[in-house]
Structures are given as C-alpha cells and as structure tokens.
C-alpha cells in the first residue's frame, strides 16, 4: 500500500517484479539502475547466490519526479524465482502497489511461467488481494533468443486474464523502460481514484518531470522486437468502479446576500457558545479530527466580536491548537448537500489571514471552516458532513 510522508512531501509506492527463476527480473533492475540519472535513483541492493540467483530480493528506490505536488518514489523489488524460497516471495509482496510478471519467452520455460502466475495469485490471496483489482502487467522477456515463442503464442498460453503486456530483451535494454513506464502509470492512475488515498493532498496541475532516459538509437542491423507501445489488452483497466463518472451536483447560484436588517446590515449573532466535533479535510479527503468552539466576546472597546478555538489532531501524528479572533461579515445563501441554507459568515480579525467561518442559521448551528483558497487548504466540517464543503468552495 502506498505511503505518504507529509513532512518531506513524498509518495512511496512499491512495484514488485515477479517471475520464474532466471527469467530476467534482476536484469530489469540492473538496466534501470544503469540508465537512470544518479539524481533520480538510490543504490541497488542485491543479495545473490554463487550461481548469480537472487537469494532474497533486489531493491531499487527510484525518483520519478514531482506528481500532484509530491515527489514520487517508486521502490522496485524482485523476488527469488526458486520455489523453495516461497516464504520470501510472499513477504516481498506485502504492501505491493503494482506487479510486473516477467515471463521467459523460451519455449522450454512455458510450464514454469504458468506455475509462477499461479503462485503469484496464491500468495496474493494471503493479503486479501487479487489480480482483478491490482495494477499488473506481463513482460515477455528474452524475445531476442532464437527459441523464443511468439507473442501471439504467449498471449494464448500465459495471458489468460488479458492484462496489458510489453515485449522485451532486458539484456539488450529493450522494453525495460517501457515496462517501467506502463506499470508506474497504472499504479498512479489507481492512486488518483476517489478515496484511494484518504490522506493525500489535492491534485496539482504540475506535470511530472520524467526521470527516465531517452530512447536509445538502434542500428538497422539489430534484430527488431515487436512494438511495445499501447499493446492490446483484454482486461479492462482501470476497473469500472475506479473510472465511473462522479454525479455532478445540481447547479447552484452564487452566494446571495440574505435580507438585511432594519439598520442596513445582517443582524449580528449574539451570545454564541457552540462546541462541535469536526472532521478535518485537505481537499476532499479527511486527514484528522478536531474540536471547535465558537463563542461571543467583548473586546477592549466594549464592542462585540467572536473567538474560534480549535484543537485538532492531523494524520494521527500532529497535534495543533489555535485561538483566533473573528469579525462578523454578514449572511449568505448557499446550497449545502443540495439544500438551500442561510449562513452567517465570519472572517479573521487579522486582515492577513485567509480564514473564513460559516455558521448555519438554524437550530443545529453547524460550523464550517476553511483556511486557504478554495479546496486547497484545511477545511473543517461537522463529523460525517464533509460532503457539504463542496457548496462552500
């Protein structure tokens, strides 16, 4: 499962290269490590036997640039191909976000490839995962060998689930980069789905800065491998429940001033003493909880103003407490959860603050708070009512 580090603004995702022994999993990571700039990769850690077989796993942290305001760190792992290391295979799959099944295209390896796919499905069940919902692809490796099966044959024999695939010769650095790009894109697509990351920041418009090397120039004499771009896939990706369009909220009018009182302005609320348990959101995702208290008070000039006390816990890690002085701005009519509501509006007395508070003018007196511009800041709503924030952005 992807992890987020808000302190360093990083997203860490885990991609595992799975497959039979000697299928080319480690070679993929070695080629990636040798072609990616040092500024965008970490050290390649490999534990191998005397026969040059992976004993436990290979590990390569890779920086793919900034995506959605975060630096994306892809952690690449391989598993040991030997069957008697299955416990280690299973352990490496823990927390996986995407999988590359590396298939040895040699005809004599067909049975091992099928067994590897079956073993992958069995081990994923231990974590409550399956290949129908997890981003995964097949890499048909060693296509440069004379005894390699054709892609059409391999598709019929191995790819029974119809997942996307690439064609490669890892030792010649062909198809390696395309494989990484395809699986990384599928993983990020899933993570951007609604509620996939409950504690993620709202998406940024910044385009990712690619850290992958440019396409190598090949001589005409080199053996051509079938194209890898946009391979046909019989499996729908992403699943329908990830791409189903969200229902659009009904059109609502812009904020309208409520009827003014006899003195030309909306009546100021008096004797407020409201306490509320709140959800804290960043964008549309809940990141913590808070206790809010909105009270009336008199300032040193004897004039009425208001105080908002906040005590919150964010991401289960950070505690914060704030006390702010507010001034009453007037009333607005908005649509919350498709219902027309009259809101009393308060803003911070500090002119440099971008805090705004709404108080529903009804018996419940629900408090909504926004700190920042639009949906790109901290927002507070009564517990279970964060969906109403859409009417305030």
Tens digit of each residue's pLDDT (9 = 90 or more) over 28-41: 988 888 887 776 67
Assess whether the previous peptide bond of 238 is cis (omega < 30° from 0).
Answer: yes
Long-range Cβ contacts of 204-207 (<8 Å, 24+ apart) = 204/66, 204/67, 204/68, 204/69, 206/66, 206/67, 206/68, 206/69
- The reply to whether the predicted model has a pTM over 0.75 is no
Q: Which of 74-83, 172-181, 332-341, 347-356 has the highest mean pLDDT?
A: 172-181
Cα atoms found within 13 Å of the Cα of residue 30, Cβ hemisphere only: 14
**Cβ neighbours of 132 (radius 10 Å):** 11
Q: Residue 203: what pLDDT?
A: 35
Let me know whether 173 and 269 are in one domain.
no
What whole-number distance in Å separates Cα of residue 83 and Cα of residue 53?
A: 12
Structural domain for 71, as ranges: 3-243
Answer yes or no: is 190 within a domain: yes
Let me know whether 270 and 203 are in one domain.
no
Let me know whether 199 and 324 are in one domain.
no
Return the higher-pLDDT residue of 194 and 177: 177
Nearest to 79 by CA among 55, 105, 97, 61: 55
Let me know whether 14 and 35 are in one domain.
yes
Would you say residue 15 has pLDDT above 70? Answer: yes
Contact 157/115 with Cβ under 8 angstroms? no
The total domain count for the chain is: 2
Q: Residue 340: what pLDDT?
A: 82
Let me know whether 321 and 352 are in one domain.
yes
CATH number at residue 338: 2.40.128
Nearest to 127 by CA among 159, 160, 82, 97: 97
Answer yes or no: is 238 within a domain: yes
Would you say residue 88 has pLDDT above 90? Answer: no
Q: Residue 11: what pLDDT?
A: 80
Answer yes or no: is 251 within a domain: no
- Looking only at the bridges linking them, the beta strands covering 367-371 and 355-360 are antiparallel
Which of 222, 243, 264 finishes a domain? Answer: 243
Tens digit of each residue's pLDDT (9 = 90 or more) over 115-169: 999 999 999 999 999 999 899 999 999 999 999 999 999 999 999 999 999 999 9
Q: How confident is the model at residue 352 (pLDDT cuts 50, 70, 90)?
A: confident
Q: Residue 373: what pLDDT?
A: 65
Cα atoms found within 13 Å of the Cα of residue 13, Cβ hemisphere only: 26
Would you say residue 111 has pLDDT above 90? Answer: yes
Answer yes or no: is 361 within a domain: yes
Q: Which structure tokens are listed for 194?
A: 């609604």
Q: Residue 254: what pLDDT?
A: 42
Mean pLDDT of the chain: 75
Let me know whether 32 and 177 are in one domain.
yes
């Amino acid at each position: 499962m992807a992890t987020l580090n808000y302190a360093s603004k990083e997203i860490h995702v885990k991609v595992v290269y799975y497959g039979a022994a000697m299928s080319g999993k480690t070679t993929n990571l070695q080629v990636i490590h040798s072609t990616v700039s040092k500024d965008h990769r970490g050290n390649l850690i490999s534990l191998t036997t005397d026969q040059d077989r992976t004993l436990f796993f290979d590990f390569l942290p890779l920086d793919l640039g900034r995506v959605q305001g975060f630096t994306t760190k892809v952690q690449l792992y391989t598993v040991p191909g030997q069957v008697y290391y299955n416990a280690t295979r299973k352990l490496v799959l823990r927390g996986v976000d995407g999988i590359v099944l590396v298939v040895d295209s040699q005809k004599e390896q067909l049975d091992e490839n099928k067994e590897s796919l079956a073993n992958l499905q069995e081990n994923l069940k231990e974590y409550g995962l399956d290949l129908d919902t997890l981003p995964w692809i097949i890499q048909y490796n060693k296509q440069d060998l004379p005894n390699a099966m054709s892609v059409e044959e391999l598709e019929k024999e191995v790819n029974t689930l119809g997942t996307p695939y690439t064609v490669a010769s890892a030792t010649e650095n062909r198809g390696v980069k395309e494989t990484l790009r395809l699986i990384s894109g599928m993983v990020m697509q899933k993570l951007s789905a609604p509620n996939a990351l409950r504690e993620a920041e709202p998406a940024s418009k910044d385009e990712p800065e690619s850290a992958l090397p440019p396409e190598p120039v090949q001589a005409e004499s080199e053996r051509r491998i079938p194209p890898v771009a946009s391979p046909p896939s019989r499996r729908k990706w992403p699943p329908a429940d990830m791409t189903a369009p969200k229902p659009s909220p009904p059109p609502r009018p812009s904020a309208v001033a409520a009827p003014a009182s006899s003195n030309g302005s909306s009546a100021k609320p008096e004797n407020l003493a409201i306490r509320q348990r709140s959800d804290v959101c960043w964008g549309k995702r809940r990141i913590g909880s808070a206790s809010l208290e909105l009270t009336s008070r008199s300032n040193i000039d004897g004039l009425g103003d208001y105080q908002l006390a906040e005590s919150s816990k964010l991401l289960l890690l950070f505690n914060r407490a704030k006390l702010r002085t507010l001034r009453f701005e007037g009333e607005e009519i908005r649509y919350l959860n498709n219902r027309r509501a009259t809101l009393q509006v308060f803003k911070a007395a500090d002119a440099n603050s971008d805090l705004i508070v709404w108080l529903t003018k009804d018996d419940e007196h629900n408090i909504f708070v926004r700190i920042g511009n639009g949906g790109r800041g901290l927002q507070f709503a009564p517990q279970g009512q964060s969906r109403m924030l859409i009417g305030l952005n």
